[in-house]
Amino acid sequence: MAGKIPQEFINELLARIDIINIIDSYIPLKKAGRNHKACCPFHDEKTPSFSVNQEKQFYYCFGCNASGTAITFLMEHLHMGFIDAVEDLASRVGMEVPRDANNSLDTNKQSKNLYQLMELVNKFYREQLNDSKNLKTACKYLKKRGINKETIAEFELGYAPPGWDNLVPVLGKSDESKKNLLDIGVTIKNDRGGQYDRFRDRIIFPIRDQRNRVIGFGGRVLNNDNPKYLNSPETPIFQKGQELYGLSQARKKLKDFHEIYIVEGYMDVIALAQFDIRNVVASLGTAATHEHIEKMLRITNKLVFCFDGDTAGKKAAWRALENSLPLLKNGRQVYFIFLPDNEDPDSFVRKNGKESFINPIMQVPLSKFLFSSLSQKINLEILEGRSEMINKTLPFLEKLPSDPYKDIIIKELSKITRYEITDIKNQLSKSKKSDKKIINKNITTANQNKGIEKIRWLIRCLLHQPKLALEVTDTISLSAIKSPGVNFLCGMIELIKKNPDISLAGLLENWRDTKFEKRLFELASDEEEFKEIGVTNEVFMDAIDGLIDTHQKKFETFKTKTSPIELTEEERAKYREMQKSSED
């Protein structure tokens, strides 16, 4: 039950709204067969790949894989929270969101309180920067770094003064506000039960999310003390593996992003902005995560990672490369800039200017970085070296999705190693089979995996054609199967039987904010299914009956074995499980 709003209300709301009207009010849709199409609002494109299905009440982009319901669209496109999106849709059809004893609205109110407190803390730090007693320290430091007043104002830079007890006397006058200061991570609890400031004698960089709310802070020392940078901890409103510094400011300045530069530090973003390089974000002191990269590739098809030329910079670049590989399809491109030793983007742009920094010559394609890194210390002039190169590259090829880009990478590897393209593909295929053998240690596990795939296929069918569930009459025999996913499958069948007219969107919203949400959205976004390749009732029921028959045959096989000794330990455990199911 997403957001703790009664699921029955969500189901009724989705049944009464029309996703076509909702999305069309923001981006113009054109009818194209059964679907409606438009240029995707989540990434830059010229040819429409954003498709909306009225029957399923679901959208999907074949370019960036954005997908979801009308609720998801408002959350992603307008950066609304879940409850705000539900309330917006409800107001359009004259429905009132239930406000019963449910604590979800209290939770939402609590989150709003935390965001409001973050703004007050941000205001406090900004006021401290402008305080006359700090002019000789904080302001002098910023002036020395070449940061002008306009940039200070745009990025809302502040200052956390020295001392351990600056925030609580001003913003923590009640027990609740003291607790909230702890919750947002700006104070820390001491051994005596009191609180002290996390940020002390540091320049403060507020971090805003895509809805322009302050969610965290970064702090830099004014001298050479360590740690040089200190970030907010993970809090209910801040997960640094998902957020990017500078994205909020960049969105204000730029309508379209032809490319995005990803740098390491706050000062790098600010320095580049002063040189009118606006399409820059920083990854908050952590390596660029899969979530970071996925978020940016929804905005643009080209990313440029810029790192220091030292060992740490190259390690960060390599992690970015690995996290990028699964996302490289549909024309997406990733490049790297490696700066000279002892240079960072801040110092480089001040010495060499804007044009030198944005010069395409500076950018190393991911493919070149991959091959040059893997080929280090390998003699490609000898057969053994070329063989080693292929073996080192195969794991990275496996991460790439099926796409022309993958074919081009394989072609380049063939050129480097003088090994036939078909032979490389054969080796890649063997490698995948080998991985499966490692995972599937015996035939029993392999068969079990086949069963899981069938269950996954059945769930996908129900997502796209919910009425198939109405054909299932023997749910008792189905629920007796003790295999991963069967309980979920049975639960979905029962839900559809109770709501025969439920749409794909309705089904997805039933599992929002659960461990199943991400996988269900992936199944719902299956490209071929979205293109309306239907499944007949007969084919669906054959698969259901096949699952039940396989289960019953296994049970009979175990029963016919004359002695428990004839069964393996795994078979005995499975037999006991089946016996229990048959007795229930």
* CATH number of the domain encompassing residue 356: 3.40.1360.10
Q: Contacts by 478-483 with C-beta closer than 8 Å and gap 24+?
A: 478/544, 478/547, 478/548, 480/551, 480/578, 480/581, 480/582, 480/584, 481/547, 481/548, 481/551, 481/581, 482/577, 482/578, 482/581, 483/448, 483/451, 483/452, 483/455, 483/551
* CATH number of the domain encompassing residue 47: 3.90.580.10
Residues 244 and 284: beta-carbon distance below 8 Å: yes
Q: How would you classify the pairing of strands 30-32 and 214-221?
A: unpaired
Is 87 a residue whose pLDDT tops 70? yes
Which token pair is 527? Answer: 């490209």
Instruction: List Cα–Cα distances, 278 to 247, 272, 348, 535, in angstroms.
Output: 9, 7, 16, 49
pLDDT in tens, 432-476: 655 444 333 433 343 444 567 788 888 988 988 899 999 888 778
Same domain flag for 84 and 194: no
Please, which pLDDT band fits residue 408 given cuts at 50, 70 and 90? very high
148: which DSSP letter? -
Q: Which residue has the higher pLDDT, 217 or 283?
A: 217
Q: Indicate the residue among 365, 385, 418 that finishes a domain.
A: 365
Is 562 a residue whose pLDDT tops 70? no
Helix (H, G, I), strand (E, B) or coil at 231: strand
Distance, CA of 207 to chain centre: 18
pLDDT in tens, 163-183: 999 999 999 989 999 999 999
571: which DSSP letter? H
Does any domain span residue 166? Answer: yes
Range 521-526 average pLDDT? 78
Quick one: pLDDT at residue 496? Answer: 92
Same domain flag for 447 and 421: no
Does any domain span residue 97? Answer: no
Does any domain span residue 310? Answer: yes
Task: Write the CB contacts of 500 (distance below 8 Å, at least 6 apart in sequence).
Answer: 466, 467, 470
238: which DSSP letter? B
Quick one: pLDDT at residue 108? Answer: 56
Q: At residue 489, what is the residue type? A: L
d(CA 421, CA 81): 49
Q: Indicate the residue among 46, 67, 92 that finishes a domain.
A: 92
Which token pair is 121? Answer: 């803390």
Is 306 a residue whose pLDDT tops 90? yes
Instruction: List Cα–Cα distances, 381 to 5, 377, 386, 421, in angstroms.
Output: 66, 12, 7, 19
String of b and e for 42-58 (b: at least 16 CB within 10 Å)? bbbbeebbbbbbbebbb
Angle at Cα 553 formed by Cα 547 and Cα 556, nearest 5°? 145
Q: Which of 90-99, 289-298, 362-371, 503-512 has the highest mean pLDDT?
A: 362-371
Q: What is the dihedral of CA 349, 351, 356, 361, to 10 degrees?
A: -100
Does any domain span residue 237? Answer: no
Q: Indicate the residue among 439, 460, 488 that finishes a domain.
A: 439
Does any domain span residue 239? Answer: no
Quick one: pLDDT at residue 582? Answer: 47
Query: What is the per-residue DSSP string for 338-386?
Result: EPPTT--HHHHHHHH-HHHHH-GGGPEEHHHHHHHHHTTT--TTSHHHH
Percent of the chain clearing pLDDT 90 (strictly above): 48
Same domain flag for 515 and 544: yes
Quick one: pLDDT at residue 560? Answer: 58
Same domain flag for 452 and 574: yes
pLDDT in tens, 192-230: 889 999 999 999 999 998 778 899 999 999 987 888 889
Same domain flag for 419 and 515: no
Same domain flag for 325 and 427: no
Tell me the pLDDT of the chain averaged across its residues.
Answer: 84
Does any domain span residue 100? Answer: no
Kindly give the residue spans of alpha helices, DSSP state H, lying in 17-146.
19-24, 70-77, 82-92, 104-130, 140-144
Residues 142 and 152: beta-carbon distance below 8 Å: yes
Instruction: List Cα–Cα distances, 574 to 83, 153, 438, 488, in angstroms.
Output: 44, 66, 22, 20
Does any domain span residue 98? Answer: no
pLDDT in tens, 103-132: 544 555 667 789 999 999 999 999 999 887
Does any domain span residue 62? Answer: yes
Same domain flag for 214 and 311: no
Same domain flag for 153 and 216: yes
- Residue 80 belongs to what domain range? 2-92
Same domain flag for 427 and 451: no
* CATH number of the domain encompassing residue 463: 1.10.860.10
d(CA 126, CA 118): 12
Range 541-570 average pLDDT? 64
Same domain flag for 460 and 578: yes
Same domain flag for 387 and 477: no
Is 94 a residue whose pLDDT tops 60? yes
How would you list the strands of the sheet with 50-53, edge to edge? 30-32, 35-38, 50-53, 58-61, 67-68
Angle at Cα 355 formed by Cα 363 and Cα 153, nearest 5°? 105
Range 345-360 average pLDDT? 93
d(CA 328, CA 370): 14
Same domain flag for 151 and 222: yes
| pTM, rounded to two decimals | 0.65
Per the structure, how many domains does the chain have? 5
